[in-house]
Structure 1
Amino acid sequence: MSESFDLVVRNGTVVLPGEVVRADVGVRNGKIAAVAGDIGAVEAARAIDAEGCLVMPGVIDAHVHFNEPNFGHWEGFRTGSAALAAGGCTAYADMPLNGNPPTVDGKALREKERLAAGHSAVDYAFWGGLVPGNLDRLRELADAGVVGFKAFMSNPGGEGEGRFREADPGTLRAGMERIAAFGGLLALHAESDAMTARLAALARSEGRTGARDFALSRPVAAELEAVADALAMAEETGCRLHFVHISSPEAVRLVAAARGRGMDVSLETCPHYLTLTEEDMVRLGPVAKCAPPLRDAARREGLWAGLLAGDIDWIASDHSPCPESMKMAPGLTFFDAWGGIAGAQNTLELMLEEGWIKRGLPLPALSELLSARPARRFGFYPRKGEIAVGFDADLAIVDPNRPRELAKEELLHRHPHSPYIGKRLSCKVVATLCRGIEVYREREGIVAPGAGVRLGPVRAAETF
């Protein structure tokens, strides 16, 4: 090859669609310009030696909560994106609910855009919200480039007049009709509010406020009822649907059956449902609290079976952080503690450990789950999601031989609590490149803190 490159990543084990090869990756103008075994000697402005390392497509995390505006003290774009970059993530979609105001109209979206610009280490996109009272704002948000709309079928919690509220059945149906009319995507937190509210109130009235009591108040039945109701409504309205943080294999089977009937529906699960159980929640306390709650070991393995069978579309962190005091203050019951897992930095390393190393999930299949499928769903493909000529040079360089226990000191998100601290890992992200810009190096940390840009779809999102 006679061309010159801005950067060559040399000697790596490169994860391509369908295969893993020993190759060099040449980068020019932020794009992948060559993937071949013979470009290491070609002139390049700089080089990264990836000898002994995996070179994977950057992770696309479709589900994070960075909480700006006005709740950046929980997590902001600078700290949250730093954690993602240190975990090999090169793009993310930020959820609409925990900022004040939440992202439910164009004005709120513009404020969020202003706060993110120049403060994110990696590329980003935004979800809009579907809540009671904002039906007339959905098209406005769609035209402004949100990747889709998030709605809750159960109470998302929080306080105050401007908080993000669950969508009642009338709002949900009307929202689906409007979103279907312009071809948008609706993402749902699917738990039956009637069931969870009744069971939680009963538990509190009886003084049952521990971890197991919380799990019993949000049973799998609540997830299944909500998923079934939403699927029926989407089938009637023609709305494209996505289910977030599915926690049970039973719900995976419901969604897979609907897709088999021709519905345009996708689902994600999260590393915490694939690596932790209800027993861990009891052992670790509120740092492992989330909704839906962690399930038993049999259901965890059932999720892996669904994933290996191809019934789960992607894996997302659902990074939902808060100050330590909201998790661990003296006197807080498990019900009162903030519910959310802080895990932005660890998705890739956890899935390499639990999927590739322990369960034999092929690296190309793992890459599909972490990168290509969300890229396709959001219309970022063929710009993002794979290592291929013409794609953005979004790369995660991973040392597969770095056994360690995850230490609190490694974590870059604002409040470094996590249920994964102390977990044994075999792999370590050592560098992350976003559009050819090295944004993270293990030794120096974040080296390009404002390199990220806002993403818009490059073409219509694909049907699943």
Structure 2
Amino acid sequence: MSTKLLIISSSRILFPDSIETTPGTIEIDKITGKIIKVHSFKASINDYNDQNQFFDVGNNVIMPGVIDAHVHLNEPGRTDWEGFESGTKAAAAGGVTTVIDMPLNSIPPTTNVHNLQEKIRAAQGKCWVDVGFFGGIIPENEEGVKGFKCFLIDSGVEEFPRVNEQDVRKAFEKLQGQNSFVMFHAEMEGNNTNIHQTELKEYYEQIPPKNYEKFLLSRPQSLEVNAISLVIDLAKQYKNIRTHIVHLSASDAIPLIKQAKSDGNNLTVETCFHYLCLTAEEIPNGGTEFKCCPPIREKSNREKLWQALLDGTIDYVVSDHSPCTAELKRFNDKEEERDFIKAWGGISTLQFGLPLLWTEAKNRGVSLNQLTTWLSKNTSKQVGLQDQKGEIKVGFDADLVIWNPEEKFEVTNDIIHFKNKVTPYLGRQIFGVVHKTIVRGKIVYDKNDGGLVNIPYGEFLI
């Protein structure tokens, strides 16, 4: 006889609007995958009949599953970099229950309906968590899905060219009244932003390409300030279109963003785990696994990003999981000779975002309520899932992560599930072990029962 309910009890559940965790029990309909009841007491197996599946997870925390709204799964076309199967398995192992796939670096990119359909066909039967899709804006093409991404600087791949201000304005005119939002990779060249046109040119050219300083100087904060200034101007003019800054790294732009939000502009901002957890000072010569665009900046910059996250200027945190092969990271070269300028810019984080952020956050007095706001609640709003995912509420999808925030582990190759095990977090000791991940009432990862299940339960969020 099939079981009717999945029931989970814990002494620490993070219910909506609760600052602290409280004892509780969650009842889940296994057919619909929805939460049907929540109780403010910790039930026991004796409270239910044998037709139900019951888990007492003890003192482990139950939180809404992480919604990562910025992931590059690269399929079809670049499946040697990543794929739906390996990427969503990594997500499930890290307590991520929903990922939103970016329109690049797959081939073809998701820049029209036909390419979106091709991507969906490639993902069929390969998803361990729920997957949604963003579309892309490139010159002369603005068809796609509900949210769109564009680059104001070279994207790094030929099939996804940058746009200029005219292209963006044309897209905004077409999107008027469609409840769309447009995401910007917010770096843009302007006066004195090209290193070869500044007084630093001679100094820059003397720096060996293996030194991180050379790459950091090539992507100054002013690139982000230029782009964000344009985005804010667009937000002021096109008030009914939501504008969004992806992967903010430059603290110099925070005052502009804060003022724009204070003025009531329709603007949201994300940053990434690597900007909150890593610093330029710790990146060794040849450490190309740390390269991303925009770059990881100095410790003082990181602290300003944290302050902006804490005061609400930054809305949420994502991985920007952007993997590639070891060869593209120049790992075939001797470590001391790896070229930061030529290496691919992207960091693999998908499986470790929750514990990485928690390890930094707990030292700043951050509550679990704040953590889940940044990782689930606000991201669900951004992608239009706020009535379905992101909180533990009756009627919502039973997307849950069950984890121990006090338990520590080391990032090692043998536990990594994403395809190319190239990451700056290798060897790092971090807090927060995921014990179970549940997607719509189905256990997709169980640390104590073989890890990942064999069935891809993920669905498409079209």
Same fold by TM-score greater than 0.5: yes
Q: Does 1:342 align with 2:348?
A: yes
Query: Per the alignment, do residues 200 and 214 of structure 1 end up closer, same or farther by CA in structure 2, a change over 3 Å counting?
Result: farther
Name the residue aligned to 2:430: 425
User: Which of residues 31, 35, 39 in structure 1 aligns to 2:34?
Assistant: 31
Which string of whole-angstrom CA distances, capped at 9 and with x for unpartnered residues, describes residues 298-356 of structure 1? 1111111111112111100000000111112215411000000000001111122111x
Which string of whole-angstrom CA distances, capped at 9 and with x for unpartnered residues, describes residues 39-59 of structure 1? 432235212221120101000
User: Which of residues 187, 194, 203 in structure 2 aligns to 1:191?
Assistant: 187
| 1:26–1:39 Cα contact (<8 Å) kept | no
Query: Per the alignment, do residues 431 and 180 of structure 1 end up closer, same or farther by CA in structure 2, a change over 3 Å counting?
Result: same
The one-letter code matched in structure 1 to 2:119 is K
Deviation, structure 1 residue 230? 1.5
Which string of whole-angstrom CA distances, capped at 9 and with x for unpartnered residues, describes residues 280-304 of structure 1? 2336711000011011111111111
Name the residue aligned to 1:214: 215
What is the distance in 1 between the residues matched to 2:79 and 2:404? Answer: 32
What is the distance in 2 between the residues matched to 1:393 and 1:222? Answer: 41
Name whichever of 6-15 and 390-399 sits farther off: 6-15
What is the distance in 1 between the residues matched to 2:271 and 2:66? Answer: 15
Name whichever of 45-54 and 195-204 sits farther off: 195-204
The aligned runs of 1:49-68 (5 Å cut-off) are: 49-68=56-75
Name the residue aligned to 1:460: none
Give the SS at the match of 2:194.
helix
| 2:15–2:393 Cα contact (<8 Å) kept | yes
| 1:82–1:449 Cα contact (<8 Å) kept | no
What is the distance in 2 between the residues matched to 1:71 and 1:190? Answer: 24
What is the distance in 2 between the residues matched to 1:285 and 1:450? Answer: 35
> Sequence identity of aligned pairs in percent?
36
The one-letter code matched in structure 1 to 2:262 is G
The one-letter code matched in structure 1 to 2:15 is L
Deviation, structure 1 residue 205? 5.8
Name the residue aligned to 2:235: 234
Name the residue aligned to 1:42: 48
Deviation, structure 1 residue 38? 5.1
Deviation, structure 1 residue 206? 5.3
Q: Does 1:397 align with 2:396?
A: no
Deviation, structure 1 residue 194? 4.5
Give the SS at the match of 1:67.
coil
The aligned runs of 1:166-181 (5 Å cut-off) are: 166-181=162-177
Query: Per the alignment, do residues 196 and 154 of structure 1 end up closer, same or farther by CA in structure 2, a change over 3 Å counting?
Result: farther
The aligned runs of 1:311-322 (5 Å cut-off) are: 311-322=313-324
Name the residue aligned to 2:457: 451
What is the distance in 2 between the residues matched to 1:62 and 1:200? Answer: 35
Give the SS at the match of 1:418.
coil
Give the SS at the match of 1:431.
strand
Q: Does 1:285 align with 2:287?
A: yes
| 2:10–2:62 Cα contact (<8 Å) kept | no
Which string of whole-angstrom CA distances, capped at 9 and with x for unpartnered residues, describes residues 420-457 of structure 1? 1122212101110000000011141210441111114x
Give the SS at the match of 1:11.
strand
TM-score (normalised: structure 2): 0.91
What is the distance in 2 between the residues matched to 1:249 and 1:424? Answer: 27
Name whichever of 366-375 and 235-244 sits farther off: 235-244
Which string of whole-angstrom CA distances, capped at 9 and with x for unpartnered residues, describes residues 201-223 of structure 1? 96886564231011011111111
| 1:125–1:147 Cα contact (<8 Å) kept | no
What is the distance in 2 between the residues matched to 1:316 and 1:441? Answer: 23
| 1:212–1:282 Cα contact (<8 Å) kept | no
What is the distance in 2 between the residues matched to 1:257 and 1:179? Answer: 25
Q: Does 1:375 align with 2:374?
A: no
Which string of whole-angstrom CA distances, capped at 9 and with x for unpartnered residues, describes residues 256-302 of structure 1? 22121111110100010001011223367110000110111111111
The one-letter code matched in structure 2 to 1:152 is F
Unmatched 5+ residue regions in structure 1? 457-464
The one-letter code matched in structure 2 to 1:303 is L
The aligned runs of 1:112-123 (5 Å cut-off) are: 112-123=119-130
Which string of whole-angstrom CA distances, capped at 9 and with x for unpartnered residues, describes residues 46-105 of structure 1? 122211201010000000001111111100000000111111000011001111111101
Query: Per the alignment, do residues 151 and 336 of structure 1 end up closer, same or farther by CA in structure 2, a change over 3 Å counting?
Result: same
| 2:74–2:81 Cα contact (<8 Å) kept | yes
Deviation, structure 1 residue 360? 1.2
Q: Does 1:255 align with 2:245?
A: no
What is the distance in 1 between the residues matched to 2:420 and 2:267? Answer: 34
| 1:34–1:389 Cα contact (<8 Å) kept | yes
Name the residue aligned to 1:353: 359
What is the distance in 2 between the residues matched to 1:430 and 1:164? Answer: 38
Give the SS at the match of 2:339.
coil
| 1:14–1:55 Cα contact (<8 Å) kept | yes
Give the SS at the match of 1:304.
helix
Name the residue aligned to 2:149: 150
Name the residue aligned to 2:113: 106
User: Which of residues 224, 228, 246 in structure 1 aligns to 2:248?
Assistant: 246
User: Which of residues 97, 120, 127 in structure 1 aligns to 2:134?
Assistant: 127
What is the distance in 1 between the residues matched to 2:191 and 2:217? Answer: 11
Name whichever of 174-183 and 184-193 sits farther off: 174-183
| 2:288–2:338 Cα contact (<8 Å) kept | no
What is the distance in 2 between the residues matched to 1:321 and 1:354? Answer: 23
Name the residue aligned to 2:370: 365
The one-letter code matched in structure 1 to 2:102 is M
The one-letter code matched in structure 2 to 1:71 is R
What is the distance in 2 between the residues matched to 1:178 and 1:282? Answer: 46
What is the distance in 1 between the residues matched to 2:360 and 2:155? Answer: 30
What is the distance in 1 between the residues matched to 2:22 and 2:8? Answer: 13
Give the SS at the match of 1:27.
strand
Give the SS at the match of 2:458.
coil
| 2:154–2:162 Cα contact (<8 Å) kept | yes
What is the distance in 1 between the residues matched to 2:208 and 2:301? Answer: 24
| 2:189–2:226 Cα contact (<8 Å) kept | no
The one-letter code matched in structure 2 to 1:185 is F
User: Which of residues 91, 101, 115 in structure 1 aligns to 2:98?
Assistant: 91
